[in-house]
Each structure stands twice: as structure tokens, then as C-alpha cells.
């Protein structure tokens, strides 16, 4: 059945150009296709795009997009080429379907307290898949919350958030999350400069007291957690830091970090001073930061750090003295800094300059060795001479932002102002892969509209796949029905499997759930997620068996003084026990195991009057604790439609009043 | 002649065996083959039930070995509880706990049978010979017992009448189509039964003449 339908659709693509095609199923002949195409106003190109993307029931996508969810505080998982949303992953924000913050994940959300207070919204920006030897390994996903300078760890065995770390030094981050080629560190560059730890100060002391920072979170792959005790940070000048990327292969051991406002403008439009937008754009260049993280790690391990907010920080002075950091001019107001697959070129684009600027890592090393400096910044950091380190500048169009790479020597850059994606050729050892001359613009495909990041299949690894590019557009304007004035963003799938100017848009996917920023695209067969938890009684927070997990035939309610412990199981279509009676004021510890082994047999546990809703996947155990402070009779029920007798899957929680 | 000699039957003289190697070798060979088949069958499924339903694109399977159940036991139990069928683990407990020992017992009996050259050998062969039939009969009785004794308090007890699921072939319950079929283990034990029939045939061909001669001889001796 599946095969026949797939065959029909592959045929469809060819239909428009091939006149003769014999079909077998009534009402599904070539003339029927032409009739429908005519009725719907579809062109041959549209039919071809449909054939490339249409994914019949049961066909699994070849790639997965892990997209930031922007202000939704989540991660979106989307199939390619179908562009179907598979899942949202709750991260920084409560999410009631997954029970995130309503009984499950509460302790993880609490790890993200900001100065001891709950901050339950996030603005996820840059997902980073874990890497082995510079290639995605499909095991972990990291994502930053730009709004609150937090980084989360997601386990790709169950697609759930396992850890949130709050950066103690900065309140906002943009240069994260990025991983080093073997996921030794997760990099988090701070964004807006403040005094480290965000203590009070005024703009008068901006240059003296305000600072930037970049944090190296040590990832313990065995534990699957960031190890704060082995993490450190580096103090940076009070420029605003944008995005970062880690070197790979020849440039392994280094990171590259963009900055803006190297003018150190302090704004003040209300006092008739130049606003930030003017003051921070005065110079034609800002600084690309080039940081030797391996050397920095040695300096940290040697104890040459100062503790700030209880966190080890390599000071600017130490960083300069130890030769850990260099600057070089880059086009102002830069966005992307992207390392080419072999690690040899670093592509930077400043959105007010129509060029991409390509730096050569070997030239950078030579300039460092020969001290080819054009000066020092106000804090004494050596500035590498621009001409000594640059390899090429390629005019690609207006508003260049971010660059990704294909497998064949093409690079792709998003053009915000042109609202297009540019394809251009790399030079050097990549040059032979493309028919066009080195370092030239090949073509531009218009996108709709205002593209931010782009993602090519595995396009930021040592081994890009090419094939698909997704343009993460900020505006959709006229692409979709207007669901009120708040419009969805538009993810546009582009076919980059051809060469030269052949780079058509295939499909538009509206994103009406937040404003995504970056996304990474991984081959689906690199992931090996669980379909059900490995054993009955699994604690997804610890990713191991919960020794206290309720088991079948051991369901019970235990009372110890004013503490009541419930050991409950859930299976189609009943909870056991179904009656739980406590006294008002009792401390209730309620453990529930979903004892199902069938794929997709998820149960919910909703106790709405206590603000509880759990999603219990097959095998999962959850524990909730609360004080029964509301007397009354409260039905609890399964909130996932689990079976024909789903409505009957309920029980009563009775809280007897204290007199 | 003692009772034991009477049961064991005539012993063979080496010359005779050498002369008629095939004739006296075949019964032992087939008995050995049956023992091997039965021993191998211990490690293979005896019976398999396939359940088809729209929401289970990969089907559900119940696979029965001589001593244990495999497959989607938990899921089938979960579904069965709706119609009030008892958990599968409660079926044929004794049979499953003894299954391996019983089969090993059969193998020992067959081993013994190869030393007996009278019709008493049939008695030792008979349990193994009838085993496949007994297995299916036992299975039928359990399925009948389970199917006819549904819990009247079960959620769907009013929707489903007691029924006897077929031991072999197709059946239907609710949206499920069931297909029951013998497993390779059962096929091996059936093959063992066939081999045992051959063994008995060749046993008779080899030893009956000897027995007759022995009888004639003893009659002669009595006549003298």
C-alpha cells in the first residue's frame, strides 16, 4: 500500500514533463493529476515541489530540524522534507501537555531560578546538537535562553530536558549554545554588558565596571549533565557579544565570537544623547574575538582565576598575559561567525556591509606567531592586522547574516534586507567542488520574508549533507491566512541538491508558536530514541530506575503521622488505588507509575484543583508532593485519551476538613 | 529366564550385528534422531498466536515455548482484562514448570527403549509419540477454560460472550483477528513422532524374527 502510493507520487513529479504514463488505480491517472493541478492553479514546478516533499502516511522523514522555539521557551522538532511538526520539547517554560511545571520537571525548572526567583519564560535561540569529532552524534541537545542567560541540556533518548544551568555572571546570552568538536564544552557568550553578576552601577562607569563574558560549561557525557564544578568563564571587554562558533579540525581548540558596540556607547536618548542604535554603529568595524579555549582550560586548571559570584573567571589581564585572546576587525554589527567544514575558514557577515568576510585560520595563527598587530583595544587586547588574516571578501547582497555550508564547496548566506538566500563559492581546497570560479556569488533565491538564520542539513559540521536548506524567516506577510495581527513565522524549505542557479523553494511551514532563531538539521537515522522507557518504574529526571516506583500489585496508601504516601499505578483503563482520602493539611507524596509497555500508551494524571497534570509515558514514574490545603472532593483523571474506557479512568481524592 | 530378561528380549550376538548392520542399526538410529529432535524443540516456540488490529500495525504476538511465554504478554493481558480474561501467566503453570523435565524424561525413556528388544519398547516410546497431540489437547483445554470463564465483573463483560479461541487457525475478538499456528518446536516434535513410528516399524522388523526363533527354541526345549 505504502509502496504503491509512493510510486504514484514519484510518478507525479515526472507527470508534467512526461506525456505517457500508465496508471492502475481508477481516479488516480495522469489526467486526474492534471485536472487537480489546473483546478488549484498549480504549475509544473509546484507539482515537482510536491513530489519532492509530499510524505504519504507512514513514510518517515529523512531529516529532523531541532529548532529553537524563541519566546515559547521550547524546542520544536520538525521533519524534513515534510515540514511537519513532530514535537515541542518543553524547556524553560511550563507546558501543560507534557506536564512540564505541573508536576513533572518542576525541579529542573527550579534550577533556572534567576537570583532565587522563578522566571518562567525563556527565549530560546541557538540549539546545539552534541558532536563527536565535529559531527552530530545524535545524543544530546543544548539550547540557550537568551533572555535569562541559561543553558539547558536535553537528552535525545527521550527528548526531555534534564538540566538547566543559570549563568551567574550575566543576565543575557547570545553566543550560545555552541559545542566544541567533541562536546567537551558548551559555550555560552554573554550578550549585553553589565557589571559581572549584574550588581548595581550607572552608565558613568560603563568602561570601568561593565564587562562581557564567555562561559565554558564542562559537559560530562557519562552523566549527561553540565558539571558546574569543572566549568569556568573568561572576562571580556564591555562590548556586546553576539554569536560564537567553535573551531574544528585545523582550528580545533579555538572559538570565535562576534561583538557589536565596540564603541562602548551608553545611549541616553532621553538626555538628547545618541541612542544605542546610532552610537553602537558609529565605527565601520567591530571586533571578532579569537579565543584559545584549550590554553584557557589550562590556565583555569592552573588556578589562575578569580572567583566572581562563586564562579571561576579568567580575568582580562590574565587572558592577555597568557595569550588566550586576540581581536581582529570585522564588519560592524555582525551576526554570523561560521567555521567552514574543514575548520580553515571563518565566515563573518556584518549586516550593514554587503560582503561576507572570510578569515583564514592559518593566517590568523601566523599573525599571532609573528605578532602582526595593528594595535590594541582599550583593554590591551592585541588586534590582529585585518589584511594579514583575511582570505576573501565576497559581495553577496544586502543584510548578510548567517552562513551554512554544503558538501560540495558552496556556502549559503542569509540576506535579511534582500530577503533572499545567497549561494556562493568557497575557494581554497573547496574550489574544485563547484563549476563556478572561487569566491563568487552564484545565485540568490528570494525567501518570504526577512530571513534570520538558515540551516543546511548538517551544514555546520565537518561533513555537511547539503540537499536541503531551511530559511527561518521572521516575517510571513502574505504567505498565509492572517490569524489576527500576530502572524506566524515562515520556515521555507529550499532544495539545494542542484548546482548553479537551481535552488528552488519547495514548501512553506508556518510557525505559530514562538519566534524561532537558529535550528540544526540532523539525519534522522543518527537518532536512537526510546519508544517506551526501558523499564517499568523509570525516573526520567535521573534517567534510571526509581527504587521507590510503585509496581503492580504493590499499590497502597501509607500514612506516617501527617505524611501520606500514595503508591499508584496507571494502566488502561484504571488508576489503582482509585480512592485516596487524606486530612486537610496532610503532606502528600504521590508516586505514580505508568505500567504500560505498549508504544504510545501514555497516561495523564490530572488533579486540576491542585494545579497538577502529569504526562506519564509507558514505564515512567513521577513523584509529586503537595500539602492538601484545600478540603473537598476532587476527581482526578487520565488526561490523555488512552483507550475506549478513557473517560472511566478516574478516581476521587477526598480531603477531609480539619473540623 | 527372569522377568527383566523377558522384557529386555534377546541379546544380540556380535556376529549377527556385523552381518545385518543396517537391520539392527536402524531402530537405534531412529530413536536417536527422535531424541535429538525433541531436545532441539525445547529451544523453539511450540505455538504462536498473532493478533491483528488497526492500531497495532506491527501486530501483537504471543509465543509459547514448552516452559515459558514470550511476546506481547503484558499488552495482551492489558487488553484481555477488558473482557475479563485471566492473565496468561495463570494458564498451564504446572505444564510450563515441568515441561522441560517431561521432555527430558521422554528422551531418557527413548534411550532406554533402544535397549529393549521386545514389544515393551512401545510403552517407552508411546509418551513421546503422543506428545504433540497431548500438547495441543492441553492447549485447547486451557483456551476453552480461559475463554468460557470470563470475569463477569470485567468492563466489557456485557459486550462479549464467552467463547473458545481456536487452537489453530483464525479467530476474531472485537477488532482483533487472531491467527494461531504451530511453532517450529511443535513441528519438530511432530517430526519426532513420525520418526518414532519408523523406529517402531524397524524395531519390529529387526527383533520379531529373533523373538519368534527364541520362542520356537524354548518350545523345542520344553518338548524335549
- Closest CB from A58, A572, A648 relative to B78: A572
Residues of A within 8 A of B78 (CB-CB) are 571-572, 596, 598
Give the model's confidence band at B119: pLDDT under 50 very low, under 70 low, under 90 confident, else very high. confident
Q: In this structure, are residues A117 and A102 in contact, taking their beta carbons and an 8 Å threshold? A: no
Task: Provide the ipTM.
Answer: 0.79
Q: Tell me, what DSSP letter sits at residue A620?
A: B
* Contact residues on chain A for B155, CB-CB shorter than 8 A: 573, 645, 648
Mutation test of the interface with chain B: which of A57, A594, A644, choosing the one with the most B Cβ atoms within 10 A? A644
Instruction: Tell which A residues from 592 to 631 touch B, by Cβ distance under 8 Å.
Output: 596-598
With a CB cutoff of 8 Å and minimum separation 6, the contacts of A154 are A75, A89, A91, A140, A141, A142, A143, A160, A161, A162
Asked if A573 and B155 come within 8 Å (Cβ–Cβ), the reply is: yes
pLDDT at A415 over 90: yes
Contact indicator for B72, B64 with CB cutoff of 8 Å: no
Residues A361-384: pLDDT tens digits?
Answer: 999 999 999 999 999 999 999 999
Retrieve residue B27's grid coordinates. 531402530
- B/e letters for B50-71, b = 16+ CB within 10 Å, e = fewer, are bbeeeebeeebbbbbbbbebeb
d(C-alpha A154, C-alpha A35), whole Å: 47
- Cell 568595524 -> residue: A285
* Count of CA atoms in the C-beta half-sphere (13 A) of A643: 25
Q: What mean pLDDT is predicted for residues A207-213?
A: 97
Residues paired with A579 in a beta bridge: A652
What pLDDT is attached to residue B17?
81
User: E strands, A483-616, where?
Assistant: 489-495, 505-511, 519-523, 538-539, 544-545, 556-560, 563-571, 574-576, 579-583, 587-594, 603-607, 612-616
Q: What are phi and psi of A173, to 5 degrees?
A: -135, 145
SS3 B48: strand
* Cα distance between residue B186 and residue B44, in whole Å: 8
DSSP states along A111-140: TT-BTTB------EEEEEEEEETTEEEEEE
pLDDT for B224: 60
Superfamily of chain region A538-656? Cupredoxins -  blue copper proteins (2.60.40.420)
A188 touches chain B (CB under 8 A): no
Q: Are strands A489-495 and A420-425 parallel, antiparallel or unpaired?
A: unpaired
A573 touches chain B (CB under 8 A): yes
The answer to whether the beta carbons of residues A11 and A21 sit under 8 Å apart is yes
pLDDT of res. A647: 94
Interface contact flag, A571 B78, Cβ < 8 Å? yes
Tell me whether strands A225-236 and A311-314 are parallel, antiparallel or unpaired.
parallel
Q: Which residue of A has its CA nearest to B156?
A: A645
User: What is the CA B192 to chain-centroid distance, rounded?
Assistant: 9
For residue A24, what pLDDT is reported? Answer: 57
Q: How many CB pairs under 8 A join A and B?
A: 19
Asked if A263 and A282 touch (Cβ cutoff 8 Å), the reply is yes
Bigger pLDDT: A1 vs B16: B16
**Residue A301 and residue A422 in contact, taking contact as beta carbons nearer than 8 Å:** no
Contacts of B74 in chain A (CB under 8 A): 596-598
Q: Match 602582526 to its residue by C-alpha cell.
A: A372
Nearest of B186, B189, B182, B141 to residue B165 by alpha carbon: B141
Q: Are A566 and A582 in contact (CB under 8 A)?
A: no
Terminal alpha carbon distance of chain B: 18
Band (pLDDT 50/70/90 cuts) for residue B16 is confident
Which range among A115-124, A136-145, A563-572, A579-588 shows the weakest confidence by mean pLDDT? A115-124
A419-439 pLDDT tens trace = 999 999 999 999 999 999 999
Residue of A nearest to B154 (CA): A573
Q: What is the mean pLDDT of chain B?
A: 92
C-alpha grid cell, residue A305? 582565576
**Mean pLDDT, rounded, for B24-40:** 94
Predicted local confidence at residue A339, as pLDDT: 98
CB A174 within 8 A of CB A189: yes
Predicted pLDDT at A587: 98
CB A409, CB A425: distance < 8 Å: yes
Residue A645 touches partner B, C-beta closer than 8 Å: yes
Query: Which residues on A lie below 8 Å from B71 (Cβ)?
Result: none
Q: Which of A82-86, A126-130, B115-119 has the lowest mean pLDDT?
A: B115-119
How far A597 CA lies from chain B's nearest CA (Å)?
A: 7
What residues of A are in contact with residue B82 (Cβ under 8 Å)? 572-573, 644-645
Whether B169 shows a pLDDT value over 80: the answer reads yes
User: Are residues A559 and A583 in contact, defined by beta-carbon separation less than 8 angstroms?
Assistant: no
Among left, alpha and beta (phi > 0; psi -120 to 50; other), residue A510 is beta
On average, the pLDDT of chain A sits at 94
Above 70 in pLDDT, residue A13?
A: no
Of A573, A597, A644, the CB nearest to B75: A597
pLDDT tens column, A224-255: 999 999 999 999 999 999 999 999 999 999 99
- pLDDT, tens digit (0-9, with 9 covering 90-100), for A268-312: 999 999 999 999 989 999 999 999 999 999 999 999 999 999 999
A-chain residue closest to B60, CA distance: A598
Give bridge partners of residue A450 from the DSSP assignment: none
In this structure, are residues A334 and A350 in contact, taking their beta carbons and an 8 Å threshold? yes
| High-pLDDT (> 70) share of chain A, % | 96
Q: Which helix (H) or strand (E) holds A423?
A: strand A420-425
Quote the minimal CA–CA distance from B84 to chain A in Å: 13
Q: Which CATH superfamily is domain A63-526 in?
A: YVTN repeat-like/Quinoprotein amine dehydrogenase (2.130.10.10)
Residues of B in contact with A648 (CB under 8 A): 155
The pLDDT value recorded for residue B1 is 58
pLDDT higher than 60, residue A2: no
Query: Does B82 sit within 8 Å of A598, measured CB to CB?
Result: no
pLDDT at B8: 84
How far is Cα A88 from Cα A74, in angstroms, rounded to an integer?
7
Q: How far is A595 from chain B (nearest CA, A)?
A: 9
d(CA A537, CA A554) in angstroms, rounded, equals 12
Chain B residues in contact with A571 (beta carbon < 8 A): 78
Best residue of A593, A597, A601 to probe chain B, by most B CBs closer than 10 Å: A597
Average pLDDT over residues A386-394: 97
How many CB atoms within 10 Å of residue B44? Answer: 16
- Looking at residue A408, its pLDDT comes to 94
Who among B57, B75, B82 is closest to A598 (CB)?
B75
Domain ranges of chain B: 22-223
A18: left (phi over 0), alpha (psi -120 to 50) or beta: beta
Chain B interface includes A572 (CB < 8 A): yes
d(CA A143, CA A173) in angstroms, rounded, equals 11
For the stretch A114-147, pLDDT in tens is: 888 989 999 999 999 999 999 999 999 999 999 9
**Percent share of chain A, pLDDT over 90:** 92
Query: For B83-97, what is each residue's pLDDT tens digit?
Result: 999 999 999 999 999
Mean pLDDT (whole number) for A178-198: 95
Residue for cell digits 493481558? B77
**Considering CB atoms only, which of A597, A598, A645 is closest to B155?**
A645
Residues with Cβ within 8 Å of residue B33, at least 6 apart in sequence: B192, B195
Chain B residues in contact with A598 by the CB 8 A cut-off are: 72, 74-75, 78
- Per-residue model confidence as pLDDT tens digits over A172-182: 999 989 999 99
Q: Is residue B46 a contact partner of residue B185, using CB atoms and an 8 Å limit?
A: yes
pLDDT at A23: 46
Nearest to A242 by CA among A202, A191, A281, A193: A191
Q: What is the pLDDT of residues A21-43, one digit of tens each?
A: 444 577 889 999 999 999 999 99
> Model confidence at A12, in pLDDT bands (50, 70, 90)?
very low
Contact indicator for A564, A587 with CB cutoff of 8 Å: yes
Q: Which of B78, B83, B87 to mutate to test the interface with A (most CBs of A within 10 A)?
A: B78
Q: Cα dist. A595→A151, A568, A622 in Å?
A: 33, 10, 12
Interval B125-136: pLDDT, tens: 999 999 999 999
Cα–Cα dist B79/B62, whole Å: 13
Beta strands across the sheet bearing A63-68: A85-90, A74-80, A63-68, A519-523, A451-457, A466-473, A489-495, A505-511
pLDDT score, position A1: 39
| pLDDT band at residue A469 under the 50/70/90 scheme | very high
Q: Which residue of A has its CA nearest to B76?
A: A598
For residue A572, give the chain B residue with the closest CA: B78
Work out whether the CA dihedral A193, A198, A204, A207 comes out positive or negative: negative
CA A621 to centroid of chain Cα atoms: 27
What CA–CA distance (Å, rounded) separates B42 from B135?
A: 13
Q: Which of B57, B74, B82 sits opposite A597 (nearest CB)?
A: B74
Which whole-number Å values give the CA distances from A459 to A401, A407, A468, A518, B61, in the listed order? 15, 8, 9, 12, 43
Domain boundaries for CATH 2.130.10.10 within chain A: 63-526
**Long-range interactions of A60-63: CB distance < 8 A, separation 24+:** A60/A524, A61/A524, A62/A523, A62/A524, A63/A457, A63/A465, A63/A467, A63/A468, A63/A521, A63/A522, A63/A523, A63/A524
Spatial CA neighbour of A259 closest among A323, A327, A321, A334: A334
Half-sphere exposure of B187 toward its Cβ, with a 13 Å CA cutoff?
A: 7
Contact B78 A596 (CB under 8 A): yes
What is residue A588's three-state secondary structure?
strand
Amino acid at each position: 500500500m505504502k509502496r504503491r502510493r509512493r510510486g504514484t507520487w514519484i510518478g507525479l513529479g515526472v507527470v508534467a514533463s512526461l506525456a505517457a504514463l500508465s496508471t492502475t488505480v481508477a481516479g488516480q491517472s495522469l489526467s486526474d493529476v492534471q485536472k487537480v493541478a489546473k483546478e488549484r492553479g498549480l504549475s509544473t514546478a509546484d507539482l515537482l515541489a510536491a513530489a519532492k516533499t509530499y510524505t504519504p502516511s507512514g513514510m518517515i522523514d529523512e531529516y529532523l530540524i531541532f529548532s529553537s522555539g524563541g519566546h515559547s521557551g521550547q524546542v520544536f522538532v520538525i521533519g524534513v522534507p515534510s515540514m511537519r511538526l513532530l514535537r515541542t520539547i518543553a524547556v524553560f517554560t511550563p507546558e501543560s501537555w507534557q506536564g512540564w511545571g505541573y508536576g513533572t520537571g518542576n525541579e529542573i525548572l527550579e534550577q533556572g531560578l534567576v537570583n532565587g526567583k522563578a522566571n518562567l519564560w525563556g527565549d530560546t535561540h541557538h540549539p546545539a546538537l552534541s558532536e563527536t569529532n565535529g559531527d552530530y552524534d545524535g545524543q544530546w541537545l543544548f539550547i540557550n535562553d537568551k533572555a535569562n542567560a541559561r543553558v539547558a541540556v536535553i537528552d535525545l533518548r527521550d527528548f526531555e530536558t534534564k538540566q538547566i544551568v543559570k549563568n551567574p555572571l550575566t543576565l543575557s546570552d547570545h553566543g550560545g549554545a555552541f559545542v566544541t568538536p567533541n562536546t567537551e564544552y558548551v559555550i555560552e557568550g554573554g550578550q549585553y554588558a553589565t557589571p559581572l553578576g549584574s550588581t548595581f552601577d550607572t552608565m558613568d562607569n560603563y568602561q570601568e565596571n561593565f564587562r562581557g563574558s564567555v562561559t565554558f560549561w564542562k559537559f560530562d557525557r557519562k552523566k549527561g549533565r553540565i558539571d558546574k564544578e569543572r566549568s569556568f568563564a573568561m572576562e571580556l571587554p564591555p562590548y556586546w557579544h553576539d554569536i560564537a562558533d567553535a573551531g574544528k579540525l585545523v582550528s580545533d581548540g579555538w572559538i570565535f565570537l562576534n561583538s557589536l558596540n565596540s564603541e562602548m556607547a551608553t545611549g541616553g536618548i532621553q538626555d538628547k544623547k545618541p541612542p544605542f542604535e546610532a552610537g553602537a554603529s558609529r565605527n565601520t568595524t567591530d571586533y571578532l574575538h579569537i579565543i584559545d579555549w584549550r590554553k584557557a582550560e589550562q590556565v583555569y586548571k592552573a588556578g589562575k582565576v578569580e572567583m566572581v559570584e562563586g564562579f571561576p573567571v579568567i580575568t582580562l589581564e590574565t587572558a592577555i598575559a597568557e595569550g588566550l585572546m586576540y581581536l581582529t576587525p570585522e564588519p560592524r554589527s555582525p551576526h554570523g561567525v561560521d567555521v567552514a567544514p574543514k575548520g580553515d575558514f571563518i565566515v563573518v557577515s556584518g549586516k550593514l556591509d554587503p560582503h561576507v568576510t572570510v578569515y583564514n585560520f592559518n593566517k590568523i595563527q601566523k599573525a599571532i606567531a609573528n605578532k602582526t598587530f595593528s594595535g590594541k583595544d582599550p583593554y590591551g587586547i592585541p588586534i590582529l592586522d585585518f589584511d594579514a588574516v583575511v582570505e576573501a571578501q565576497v559581495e553577496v547582497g544586502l543584510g548578510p547574516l548567517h552562513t551554512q555550508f554544503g558538501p560540495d564547496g558552496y556556502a549559503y548566506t542569509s540576506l535579511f534586507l534582500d530577503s533572499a538566500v545567497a549561494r556562493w563559492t568557497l575557494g581554497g581546497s573547496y574550489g574544485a567542488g563547484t563549476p563556478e570560479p572561487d569566491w563568487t556569488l552564484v545565485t540568490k533565491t528570494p525567501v518570504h520574508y526577512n530571513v534570520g538564520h538558515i540551516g543546511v542539513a548538517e551544514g555546520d559540521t565537518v561533513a555537511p549533507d547539503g540537499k536541503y536548506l531551511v530559511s527561518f524567516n521572521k516575517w510571513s506577510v502574505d504567505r498565509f491566512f492572517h490569524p489576527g495581527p500576530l502572524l506566524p513565522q515562515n520556515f521555507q524549505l529550499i532544495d539545494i541538491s542542484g548546482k548553479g542557479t537551481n535552488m528552488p523553494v519547495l514548501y512553506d511551514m508556518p510557525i505559530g508558536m514562538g519566534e524561532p532563531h537558529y535550528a540544526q538539521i540532523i539525519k534522522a537515522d543518527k537518532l536512537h530514541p526510546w519508544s517506551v522507557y526501558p523499564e517499568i518504574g523509570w525516573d526520567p529526571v535521573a534517567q534510571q530506575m526509581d527504587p521507590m516506583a510503585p509496581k503492580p500489585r504493590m499499590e497502597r496508601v501509607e500514612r506516617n503521622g501527617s505524611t501520606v504516601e500514595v503508591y499508584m499505578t496507571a494502566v488502561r483503563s484504571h488508576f489503582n488505588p482509585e480512592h485516596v482520602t487524606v486530612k486537610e493539611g496532610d503532606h502528600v507524596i504521590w508516586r505514580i507509575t505508568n505500567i504500560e509497555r505498549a508504544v504510545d500508551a501514555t497516561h495523564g494524571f490530572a488533579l486540576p484543583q491542585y494545579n497538577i497534570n502529569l504526562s506519564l509515558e509507558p514505564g515512567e514514574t513521577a513523584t509529586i508532593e503537595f500539602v492538601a490545603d484545600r478540603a473537598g472532593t476532587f476527581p482526578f483523571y487520565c488526561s490523555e485519551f488512552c483507550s475506549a474506557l478513557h473517560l472511566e479512568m478516574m478516581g476521587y481524592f477526598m480531603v477531609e476538613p480539619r473540623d | 529366564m527372569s522377568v527383566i530378561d523377558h522384557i529386555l528380549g534377546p541379546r544380540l550376538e556380535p556376529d549377527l550385528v556385523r552381518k545385518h548392520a543396517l537391520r539392527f542399526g536402524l531402530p537405534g538410529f531412529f530413536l536417536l534422531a527422535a531424541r535429538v529432535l525433541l531436545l532441539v524443540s525445547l529451544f523453539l516456540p511450540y505455538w504462536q498466536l498473532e493478533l491483528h488490529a488497526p492500531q497495532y500495525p506491527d501486530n501483537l504476538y504471543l509465543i509459547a515455548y514448552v516452559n515459558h511465554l514470550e511476546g506481547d504478554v503484558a499488552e495482551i493481558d492489558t487488553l484481555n482484562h477488558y473482557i475479563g480474561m485471566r492473565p496468561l501467566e495463570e494458564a498451564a503453570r504446572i505444564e510450563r514448570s515441568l515441561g522441560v523435565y517431561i521432555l527430558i524424561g521422554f528422551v531418557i525413556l527413548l534411550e532406554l527403549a533402544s535397549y529393549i528388544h521386545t514389544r515393551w519398547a512401545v510403552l517407552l516410546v508411546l509418551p513421546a509419540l503422543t506428545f504433540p497431540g497431548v500438547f495441543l489437547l492441553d492447549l485447547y483445554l486451557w483456551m476453552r477454560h480461559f475463554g468460557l470463564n470470563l470475569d463477569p465483573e470485567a468492563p466489557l463483560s456485557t459486550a462479549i460472550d464467552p467463547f473458545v479461541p481456536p487452537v489453530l487457525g483464525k479467530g476474531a475478538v472485537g477488532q482483533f483477528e487472531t491467527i494461531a499456528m504451530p511453532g517450529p518446536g511443535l513441528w519438530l516434535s511432530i517430526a519426532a513422532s513420525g520418526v518414532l513410528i519408523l523406529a517402531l516399524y524397524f524395531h519390529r522388523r529387526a527383533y520379531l524374527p529373533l523373538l519368534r526363533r527364541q520362542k520356537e527354541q524354548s518350545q523345542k526345549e520344553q518338548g524335549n
